[in-house]
């Protein structure tokens, strides 16, 4: 493979799929990862190859496991030849009162949503430095890392930590011309089975609709491009204004309208 390349974790569906498709449309060859979602991953890869005329290789692995992030980075580099863009999107969302949350769930959030992105940034940035790639790293966080809600102490705390990690790594990698940023999505409709919920909820968001994976994909393409070459260490909210008025992320309660 030649030209621009990107590794997108959790690229089989939802936000990751939206980012992968947007990157391919911009001319990137892709590596996407998934865990136990092979059918959707290969559907995404076929769409990229058949409709967007870009290469897309699929890797399966559980990034909760300590050795998997490095393994994925090595395999993606070997297959693509180099990596220009890393998008840390894979993650799990678990909402539960922290006082009652099982250790297994706490560890899952810590390992998949924080440790895995950190290990991937470490491995891919070493590759970029060695190869002289002035690349871009993008972490997908959440507006819950900025605004607290009941039941999201661990999930929101982990996303806040990833935002803070991003800022320091941006300083570490700036001398090499490698930029590191975050996108913090708000309410993104990734499940068509909940379209009625998102329609009602979207009416109370300031821009009067829920977000889509395509919205995140467009932001990701821009933030990792040369058009954003003077931006590093920052977080861009893509939430339609969701958290501006401090509205609740529930169907009940007072919303924007």
- Catalytic sites, residue numbers: 155
Burial class (CB in 10 A: 0-12, 13-18, 19+), 191: exposed
Query: What distance in Å separates the CA atoms of residue 79 and residue 180, rounded to the nearest whole number?
Result: 23
CA distance 85 to 133: 10
In angstroms, the CA 27 to CA 166 distance is 26
Contact 242, 205 (CB under 8 A): yes
**What is the CA 35 to chain-centroid distance, rounded?**
15
């Amino acid at each position: 493979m030649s030209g621009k390349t990107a590794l997108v974790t959790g690229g089989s569906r939802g936000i990751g799929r939206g980012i992968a498709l947007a990157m391919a449309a911009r001319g990137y060859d892709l590596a996407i990862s998934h865990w136990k979602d092979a059918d959707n991953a290969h559907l995404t890869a076929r769409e990229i190859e058949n409709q967007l005329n870009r290469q897309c290789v699929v890797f399966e692995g559980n990034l909760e496991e300590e050795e998997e992030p490095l393994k994925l980075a090595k395999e993606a580099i070997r297959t693509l030849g180099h990596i220009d863009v890393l998008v840390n999107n894979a993650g799990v969302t678990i909402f539960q009162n922290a006082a009652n949350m099982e250790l297994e769930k706490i560890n899952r959030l810590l390992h998949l949503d924080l440790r895995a992105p950190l290990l991937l940034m470490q491995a891919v940035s070493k590759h970029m430095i060695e190869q002289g790639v002035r690349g871009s790293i993008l972490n997908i966080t959440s507006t819950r890392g900025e605004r607290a809600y009941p039941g999201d102490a661990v999930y929101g705390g982990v996303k806040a930590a990833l935002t803070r990690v991003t800022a320091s790594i941006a300083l570490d990698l700036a001398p090499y011309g490698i930029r590191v940023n975050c996108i913090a999505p708000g309410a993104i409709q990734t499940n068509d089975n909940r379209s009625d919920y998102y329609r009602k909820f979207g009416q109370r968001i300031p821009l009067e609709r829920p977000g889509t994976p395509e919205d995140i994909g467009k932001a990701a393409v821009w933030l990792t491009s040369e058009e954003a070459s003077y931006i590093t260490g920052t977080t861009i909210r893509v939430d339609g204004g969701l958290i501006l008025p401090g509205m609740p992320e529930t169907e009940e309660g007072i919303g924007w309208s």
